[in-house]
């Protein structure tokens, strides 16, 4: 059961309503995380603005790979379910690639390097080694792209932390530890 309060539709702050409407139009429903964030319109706006802005920094499959790798590293069940759903239903990723991303890899060698690097960023709290940087550079990523990878990883950390604190009720198909539908 979620530990933070979620406003009822009639108690949702007016400033949150257009953002929730946009989320509903995009996904067909308002996920519990966003319904909870709606209690603080500024926080909801920050999360949505950050996600929207970062949708321009790397291709979608790379962003999904980072989200899955980071969410797995943080044991965020809600984010794993959400990112699995979005990656498969909207992002065109196969079940195998989703499972590999969670494990810090990918069917694509370049995205595999991103997944490993993102998990290392999380595990080391950003204190990555020269070898970690060399590996992601060796996969073909420039320093500006590495900045984008770190920024996407931190954005995912933000939502992981929110959902782990809240223990957000999963309202999308859950995934098992092995990455198969729960």
Q: Give the closest residue to 123 by CA, choosing from 104, 142, 110, 108.
A: 104
Predicted confidence (pLDDT) per residue in 119-170, tens digit: 999 999 999 999 999 999 999 999 999 999 999 999 999 999 999 999 999 9
Q: Give the pLDDT confidence score for residue 94 in this predicted structure.
A: 93
| Cα gap 39→96, rounded to integer Å | 37
More confident residue, 30 or 180: 30
Task: Label residue 177 by pLDDT band (50, 70, 90).
Answer: low
Structural domains of the chain, ranges and CATH numbers in brackets = 9-54 (1.20.5), 60-166 (1.20.1290.10)
Predicted confidence (pLDDT) per residue in 11-22, tens digit: 999 999 999 999
- Work out whether the CA dihedral 176, 181, 154, 35 comes out positive or negative: negative
pTM over 0.95: no
Q: Give the pLDDT confidence score for residue 60 in this predicted structure.
A: 95
CA distances from 90 to 9, 154, 159 (A): 26, 22, 19
């Amino acid at each position: 059961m979620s530990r933070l309060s979620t406003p009822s539709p009639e108690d949702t702050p007016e400033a949150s309503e257009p953002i929730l409407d946009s989320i509903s139009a995009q996904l067909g429903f308002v996920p519990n995380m966003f319904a909870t964030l709606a209690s603080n319109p500024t926080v909801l706006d920050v999360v949505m603005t950050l996600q929207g802005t970062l949708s321009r920094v790397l291709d979608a499959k790379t962003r999904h790979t980072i989200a899955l790798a980071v969410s797995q590293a943080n044991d965020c069940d809600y984010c794993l379910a959400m990112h699995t759903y979005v990656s498969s239903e909207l992002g065109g990723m196969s079940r195998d690639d989703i499972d590999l991303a969670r494990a810090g890899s990918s069917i694509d060698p370049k995205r595999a390097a991103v997944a490993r690097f993102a998990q290392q960023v999380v595990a080391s709290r950003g204190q990555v080694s020269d070898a970690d940087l060399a590996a992601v550079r060796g996969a073909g990523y420039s320093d500006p792209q590495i900045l984008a990878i770190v920024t996407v990883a931190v954005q995912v950390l933000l939502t992981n932390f929110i959902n782990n604190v809240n223990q957000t009720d999963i309202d999308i198909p859950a995934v098992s530890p092995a990455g198969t539908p729960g």
